[in-house]
Amino acid sequence: MISRGIPAVINSVLPRNMSGKWLDTSIKGFLLDITGVCYDSAGNSGIPIEGSIEAIKLLRQAKIPFRFCSNESTASRVHLARKLGEIGFDIKAEEITCPAPVAAQLLRERGLRPFFLVKDEVLEEFEGINSTNANCVVMGDAQENFSYENVNRAFSVLINSPTPILISMGCGRYYKETDGLKIDVGAYCKGLEYACGIKAEFVGKPDPKYFLSALEQLKISPANCVMIGDDVAGDCGAAQKAGMRALLVRTGKYRAEDERRTDVQPDGVVDNLLQAVQAFLDFKNAKAE
């Protein structure tokens, strides 16, 4: 139960441009998106978003549980952690939840043989899976591998199967890199759905089970965790449906109209990850006094 003095405490630690309704004593940890929250990608490199490296350091120093929950499908967790390390982040592969390992487990459980429409850098997550004589398609953000030839090969697998199975790692419309917005896997997935007259199975956000799988690693219940993302629907709205609170950052693919939507209303909007972390730590410190 929050005491009557808490609203005054919240107001005293918040910048004027940030709502404090997400802050209360029940919050124990965070799920963090990566692209658009921690950094903007630029091919095989990227640029940290202002304050994000410091924010992660502050969470570690304060021993606040957190985990990265991303729809990143262009690289394996090891490759992604290495890439982020090269631009200044201290992130371990085992701290990342992303769709490829979940998709790999699904393939093993169902005995499926995939045709992969993905980038080469993510294939190590599927090591040991038989892909000969494919009976399904697994797709991610294949970027340059979304050639006509490759997309048509995926189409051929699906259209010639008596029970076509299309598994998409994420269903995003677009994301932001350093040189602007980029089309995401969801657009290509919709094309294959239309061409084959099927519905894809999605692995990753916005599936509530995906958030819950990340929370299992943290050993935190949804009611005690906040998701921080740059996608008002895929991050914030989806996390709320999973029972979490959600913060929208004004970085990455954020657009001003996101704050005016009536169908999705985040529990707070912050300028960046660092502002959220500082507000939370200031709130905790004020409560401890």
216: left (phi over 0), alpha (psi -120 to 50) or beta: alpha
155: left (phi over 0), alpha (psi -120 to 50) or beta: alpha
227 DSSP β-pair partners? 31, 246
Judged on CB neighbours under 10 Å (0-12, 13-18, 19+), 219 is: exposed
| One pLDDT digit (tens) per residue for the chain, 289 residues | 333 343 443 444 455 455 567 898 999 999 999 999 999 988 778 999 999 999 999 999 999 999 999 999 999 999 999 999 999 999 999 999 999 999 999 999 999 999 999 999 999 999 999 999 999 999 999 999 999 999 999 999 999 999 999 999 999 898 888 888 899 999 999 999 999 999 999 999 999 999 999 999 999 999 999 999 999 999 999 999 999 999 999 999 999 999 999 999 999 999 999 999 999 999 988 877 7
Nearest CA among 15, 24, 14 for reference residue 245: 24
What is the pairing mode between strands 39-42 and 45-48?
Answer: antiparallel
* AA identity, residue 106: L
User: 27: which residues sit within 8 A by CB, 6+ positions away?
Assistant: 224, 225, 226, 245, 280
- Per the CB < 8 A criterion, the answer to whether 98 and 31 are in contact is no
